[in-house]
Amino acid sequence: MKKIFNIIICFLPIAAFSQNIDRSKAPVPGKAPIIQVANPVKFTLANGLKVYVVKNTKLPRVIAQLSFDVDGFKEGDKAGLAEMAGQLAKRGTTTKSKEQLDEAVEYLGGSLSTSSTSAVAISLKSNFPTLFGLLSEVVLHPALNAEELEKVRKQTISGIESNKDDADAIANNVVKKLVYGANHPFGEIMTTKTVNAIKAEDVKSFIGDYWKPNIASLIFVGDIEPADAKKLAEKYFGAWQKGTVPVQQFEKSARPAKTYIAVVDRPSSVQSVVTIATPLQLVKGAPNDIPANVMNNILGGGFSGRLFANLREKHGFTYGAYSSLETNKYVGIFKAEASVRNEKTDSSIQETLAEINTIRSVKVDDGELSRMKNYLAGGFARSLENPTTIAGFALNIEKYNLPADYYQKYLTNLASVSALQVQEAATSLLQPSQMHIVVVGDAKQVAKGLEKYGEVKYFDIEGNEIAAPKEVKVDASLTLDVLINKTVEAMGGKASIEKIKDVQLNGKVGVMGQSIDVVQKIIQPGSAVMLMSMGGMVISKQAVVDGKYEVSQQGMQAPITDDLKEGLDESSYLVPELMYQQKGYKLAIVGMEQVEGKDAIDVEITAPSGKKSHRFYDKETYLLVKTTKVEKGPQGPVTQQQYYKNYQKVDGVAFAKEAVMDLGQFKMNLNFETIKVNQGLKLEDLK
Amino acid sequence: MKKQFFLSCLLLFIGATAFGQSIQFEKYVLPNGLKVILHEDHSAPVVAVTALYHVGSKNEDTARTGFAHFFEHLLFEGSENIKRGEFDKYVTNAGGALNANTSQDRTFYYELLPSNQVELGLWLESERMMHAKIEQVGVNTQREVVKEEKRQRMDNRPYGSFLNEMLKRAFKVHPYKWSPIGSMEHLNAAKLEEFIQFYKTYYVPNNCVLSIAGDFNKAELKEKIAAYFGSIPKGTIAINRPNIKEPALGGEVRDIIYDNIQLPGVFQAYRAPKQGGDEYYAFNVLSTILSGGESSRMNKSLVDKKQQAAAAQSVPFFNEDEGLLIALAIANVGVKIETLEQSMDSVTDQLKKELVSEREFQKVKNQITSELVSSKATMAGIAESLANNEVYFGDANLINTELEKYNKVTREDVLNVAKKYLNKDNRVVLYYLPKQKSASK
């Protein structure tokens, strides 16, 4: 039998050559598939919990998803509360520790996750009833204990800290604050301060106030009979008490009166993150919802959008340029975004605005329109492979009060979108004269010339407006020699400095919530050691003692490069300004910059190896206030900055009692508690 | 205790029957040697068209590493009938998605399409196999793209070099000693004729499995497959299939890598058997014990209890020939790297000393059963799994029988592979340490 089968197979290809194919062009697609969007079975429990069941027996698996309709919870000075509550919910219940709960879930081969507005459980059909019981335990009786809260807090804060140097994360925060407004829940920004203000009681009251059956939807998707789902829902969630959920009032976000530029200065940027954004009154299911989606995709949807074609393929300003459009029942948002080379910041804004103007003023041609419809229809069809898509449809119908056949009719409605509707969506939603244009980048390089688009304002990384950096020129009479002399004077004068033979500084560094002891010893000239230790264990050592160099971390020796040697040598001088010229360093005054709100003179230092760094001297006091240098980092060059503050004199010489090392991805604050000079340190004390 | 064991057996039994839904497919071979596997499924209006070529970095010339992966890029450049830069546009304009990936053993291309566009997938894949454009301009363009990819994925990503660093120490003679990204110098030195030769050798129907899953009519599709692929000539150049036995490591290899990272990391790689044998299944069970989920041993001990690691994971790295079991952990701030390694070792030592408890063993098997079921959730997953099983084991039907192999694994098997392989003289250990950032004044 099998043999015959094979023979038949072998014949087939030959017969098939008679079928003509034309290789020279892409085949014509077949008839559009008839897409059936199943209607879920729906029922409501007595406590108001709405239940949907999407039966799909393709896999012997069931997914249960509980969602709370909490849109717009204002957190104020506790921003981050909802997010942390969501993370904490699955870290133990009143009867099971986190460890016991994790084990119980995974013993079932399942998974269970929570967020501020949802709880999801997935497992094979056979274990699902047991897992569903655990899901209800997590939702109804979460432990929310203080110890686990501290772990979540620690992780959240390290996330915030590492985002402080991430241009995309900064842009994201500032855009939402400006577009939605600081008083709108969508415009709130989580900071270390707000996260530290959150207490276990706050989390308990959030869960207690908002996790209520009357604002929840429970969806079952997978290999489960609606009758069985109903039994489970009633058994585990039937006794859940309904309650009044607080309703908050907040202002509607409005467009700005006039287009303006919001610059967030990030001096180390080599690219600007440019976002052009506006709030939208666009609700899913509104007549212009589908045309608006088509319009957005023509403008900036993926690789086939106009922004990509213009900014990347035609001009090469960027690796990618896209637009997005989010609908929401309170307020939606439109954004056009790109990360562009510094010098193309202005041109990118110009081209993006030009594309917005074009889609408003010129009707899209039929070819482009039908291509985009194919793209969206294909994506819609593919999304149905995942059965949770159907569940998502059911949720949207409920949340946005859509007609029950909204998704059944989606493709027909998409096909009927006209060029005129696309244009109308653009003219009604996108107003080029009322846009927020947010630029996160090196203001010194990119801000110039942007006034032509509107008033240029400056903001900090948390979206608070700040004064524009003043451009101050260096006084032409200030020569390098004068500056060096003044600095040396400010530090205590050459005589006093040279009287100091040795010095020992003891201090502490705070980094990511941990404390590290620092000891720095210097014997002038030429020998110095810096030790960092934690709980008595040395974790880092760098030393130059009598011409011998050593750098180690956690007991491991690092290779000694010329760069390192130079840096170590420099560290063995209290005031390296005294030695620069004789050691062959080249210095040049290159400009003026604001350092923490004060003018400082920027001096470029070129070491004999060619390595460049900058030192900034306060314009009034001539004390060193900042140093910078560029190091190779994981995402390209990173500018490392160190700030010096709180100078105090010891034996006539000024020492900075505080230093802040900004290493790009995180900051360390170093505070010196004691400074002892001329104790008679010997070289062996440095070993 | 006894009761619990009974319950475990019951669960296992239920698991097996619940899993019993098999994937129906048809497999046949065209006269030119192209293997075709078709799985018809009308549950959603989608189709996955995939082509797996049995060529990976292990087939490369030692002076031309990176070729296989380079082709994964080059073959999106176009063909006689597809203009440069248009290959992916056909797919995205149809609302589809496409991509490709290269391992040490094979190169895999796929298009995910709405089902009425299945023929588009056939056209694109047959054009790619029949007469792709191998031209200097495309070679030059893609060389730059691959360099960017290397920069982004390996050079600029923290710990991104670990696989390269690991492979070159774990393998001395086998071509697994280099990773698919290969050498940029080799790519720079290669002449256009060498690329053409590589294409003619490996991109032939008799080195490919065309695996298609989704919403189509099988009879019609077979005619179309014959029309698009039947006339592509069989390859005539001998294919290099290295048959090299890597000798035992012969002692622990240790090294330190300085990288642009903030937190130190420990990477341990134990030499492991090749995929498909009994030991392979026991090894996967072992790896799940180590790091499958929050309740796994590495997570519970290193991350949660001792809080020494910011992250900890084990990665089974199995191949057609010998593989590796990689265990890695990234230290929390202020934790000594030696301390972290000791804790990792105590986790592996325990696996060598004691049988896993019945409860934990059952947990891990339940996790694996779930994973196997979920891997069949998409047409793309099914098509790839069928093709992999056919190429590696000559048995596409393994997709339906794999669970039995896992069910045969006993607690003693896990203890035995742990004892046999998780030994110091069988491993490479790399310490990743931050490059010094001098914090001088």
Q: Are B366 and A571 an interchain contact pair (Cβ–Cβ within 8 Å)?
A: no
Q: Which candidate from A106, A661, A665 shows the least CB-CB separation from B439?
A: A661
Average confidence (pLDDT) over A291-317: 90
* B11 three-class SS: helix
Q: When comparing pLDDT for A470 and A147, which is higher?
A: A147
Spell out which residues of chain B touch residue A567, defining contact as CB-CB under 8 Å.
438, 440
pLDDT at B17 over 80: no
What DSSP character marks residue A547? Answer: T
Nearest CA in chain B to A558: B436
Confidence of residue A395 (pLDDT cuts 50, 70, 90): confident
Average confidence (pLDDT) over B142-158: 75
Q: B342-393, pLDDT tens digit by residue?
A: 999 999 999 999 999 999 999 999 999 999 999 999 999 999 999 999 999 9
Q: Which candidate from B80, B123, B441 shows the least CB-CB separation from A26?
A: B123
Most confident of A125-134, A249-258, A529-538: A125-134
Q: What is the pLDDT of residue A31?
A: 85
Give me chain B's average pLDDT, please.
90
CB of A406 within 8 A of CB of A397?
A: yes
Locate A435 and state its tokens. Answer: 């846009």
The span from the CA of B205 to the CA of B230, in Å, is 9
* A289 closest CA partner among A432, A427, A422, A435: A422
The span from the CA of B13 to the CA of B365, in Å, is 12
Q: What is the pLDDT of residue A319?
A: 76
pLDDT at B274 over 60: yes
Q: B391-439, pLDDT tens digit by residue?
A: 999 999 999 999 999 999 999 999 999 999 999 999 999 999 887 543 3
> A141 to chain B, minimum CA–CA distance in Å?
20
Q: What is the pLDDT of residue A451?
A: 95
Q: Are B95 and A385 an interchain contact pair (Cβ–Cβ within 8 Å)?
A: no
Q: A537-558, pLDDT tens digit by residue?
A: 787 888 888 888 888 877 677 7
Q: Which candidate from A20, A27, A514 shows the least CB-CB separation from B334?
A: A514
With a CB cutoff of 8 Å and minimum separation 6, the contacts of A330 are A71, A72, A186, A252
Whether this prediction's pTM lies above 0.90 is answered by no
* B341 three-class SS: helix
pLDDT at B11 over 60: no
pLDDT at B441 over 50: no
Q: Are B95 and A376 an interchain contact pair (Cβ–Cβ within 8 Å)?
A: yes
Q: When comparing pLDDT for A162 and A672, which is higher?
A: A672
The span from the CA of B75 to the CA of B109, in Å, is 10
Number of neighbours of residue A230 by Cβ within 10 angstroms: 16
Q: Are A109 and B113 an interchain contact pair (Cβ–Cβ within 8 Å)?
A: no
Spell out which residues of chain B touch residue A105, defining contact as CB-CB under 8 Å.
295
Q: A602-659, pLDDT tens digit by residue?
A: 899 998 888 888 999 999 999 999 998 877 654 455 677 889 999 999 889 999 999 8
Q: What is the pLDDT of residue B439?
A: 35
Cα B293–chain centre separation: 20
pLDDT at A1 over 50: no
> B173 to chain A, minimum CA–CA distance in Å?
30
DSSP A354-411: HHHHHHHHSPPPHHHHHHHHHHHHHHHHHHTTSHHHHHHHHHHHHHTT--TTTTTTHH
Spell out which residues of chain A touch residue B88, defining contact as CB-CB under 8 Å.
303
The percentage of residues in chain A with a pLDDT greater than 90, rounded to a whole number, is: 52
Average confidence (pLDDT) over A5-19: 39
Q: Are B362 and A107 an interchain contact pair (Cβ–Cβ within 8 Å)?
A: yes
pLDDT at B12 over 50: no
Number of neighbours of residue A373 by Cβ within 10 angstroms: 18
Q: Calculate helix-pair angle for A98-107, A128-140, nearest 10 degrees.
A: 160
Nearest CA in chain B to A518: B439
Strand B97-102 to strand A118-124: parallel, antiparallel, or no bridges (unpaired)?
unpaired
Average confidence (pLDDT) over B185-198: 94
> B243 to chain A, minimum CA–CA distance in Å?
32
Q: How many CB contacts within 8 angstroms connect chain A with chain B?
A: 247
Locate B299 and state its tokens. Answer: 């997570």
Q: Which ranges in B247-355 belong to alpha helices (H)? A: 278-291, 297-298, 337-353
Q: Are A33 and B256 an interchain contact pair (Cβ–Cβ within 8 Å)?
A: no
Q: Which candidate from A103, A109, A554 shows the least CB-CB separation from B370?
A: A109
CB of B435 within 8 A of CB of A558?
A: yes
Spell out which residues of chain B touch residue A54, defining contact as CB-CB under 8 Å.
none
Q: Which candidate from B97, B113, B223 shows the least CB-CB separation from A19?
A: B223
Q: Are B96 and A665 an interchain contact pair (Cβ–Cβ within 8 Å)?
A: no
Q: What is the number of alpha carbons within 13 Å of residue A307 lying toward its C-beta? A: 31
Q: A475-530, pLDDT tens digit by residue?
A: 778 888 888 999 999 999 988 888 889 999 999 887 655 678 899 999 887 889 98
Confidence of residue A7 (pLDDT cuts 50, 70, 90): very low
Q: Are A58 and B116 an interchain contact pair (Cβ–Cβ within 8 Å)?
A: no
Q: Are A378 and B337 an interchain contact pair (Cβ–Cβ within 8 Å)?
A: no
* A16 three-class SS: helix
Q: What is the pLDDT of residue B436?
A: 59
Q: Are B293 and A111 an interchain contact pair (Cβ–Cβ within 8 Å)?
A: yes
> A351 to chain B, minimum CA–CA distance in Å?
23
Q: Are A382 and B112 an interchain contact pair (Cβ–Cβ within 8 Å)?
A: yes
Q: Which candidate from A27, A375, A666 shows the least CB-CB separation from B262?
A: A666
* B387 closest CA partner among B119, B107, B178: B107
Q: Are B46 and A385 an interchain contact pair (Cβ–Cβ within 8 Å)?
A: yes
* B109 three-class SS: strand
Spell out which residues of chain A touch residue B118, defining contact as CB-CB under 8 Å.
30
Q: Are A634 and B158 an interchain contact pair (Cβ–Cβ within 8 Å)?
A: yes
Q: A649-668, pLDDT tens digit by residue?
A: 988 999 999 988 876 556 67
> Considering Cα of A136, then A140, then A146, then A151, what sign does the dihedral take?
positive
Give me chain A's average pLDDT, please.
88
Most confident of A194-208, A299-313, A654-668: A194-208
Q: What is the pLDDT of residue B359?
A: 96
Q: What is the pLDDT of residue B10?
A: 33
pLDDT at A155 over 60: yes
Nearest CA in chain A to B220: A16
Q: What is the pLDDT of residue A154?
A: 83
pLDDT at A598 over 80: yes
CA angle A534, A154, B331 (to 5 degrees): 50
